[in-house]
Amino acid sequence: MNTPNRYLVYLLYFLLTIPAVVILFKFIEPRKVASIFAATLFITCSLLPIWGEIKNKTKTTFVFWAAIGFLVLFSAPMIIVRLVNYDLDFSSINFGPITGPEFHKYSNYGFIILLTSTIVDYVQTRRSTTATHKG
């Protein structure tokens, strides 16, 4: 799918992840188990565009690099530290000098960057596709 539509697929997945995570925390107890499922969803938020952009040979897109950054800086560390410290409450876990809640707040910013990069790539690809068809 080497069209602007692949960015809409990424965006839809990202946007559906948010209510899915809310539902996980509402219905799964203990919250530690819900956090593992949620972290897995956020890891797939990175893997989906990474795989899609590699498949389309478009590894220079914003979403490709944002997804790698989100995976390496937030998603993978979140699940690894959560699993290693499974018996601890999330608020008592540290990511180096950063507390668990602070790290979670920063990961939200990373997710917003991932969303924004997807929109930027969609708009750029759409413009490029439209210009190619007009010219």
List, for the chain, all residue ranges whose pLDDT scores fall below the cut of 70: 1-2, 131-135
Model pLDDT, residue 80: 95
Contact present, 32 and 86 (Cβ < 8 Å): yes
Q: Where are the domains of the chain?
A: 5-125
**Structure tokens given for 88:** 């601890």
Long-range contacts of 107-112 (CB under 8 A, 24+ apart): 107/42, 107/70, 107/74, 107/75, 107/78, 110/69, 110/70, 110/73, 110/74, 111/14, 111/42, 111/45, 111/70, 111/74
pLDDT digits (tens, 9 = 90+) for 80-109: 999 999 999 999 999 989 999 999 999 999
Q: Given this model, what pLDDT does residue 126 score? A: 85
Say what the pLDDT of residue 131 is: 65
pTM surpassing 0.85?
yes
Query: pLDDT at position 59, please?
Result: 85
Residue 135: per-residue pLDDT: 54
CB 24 within 8 A of CB 34: yes
Distance CA 75, CA 94 (A): 15
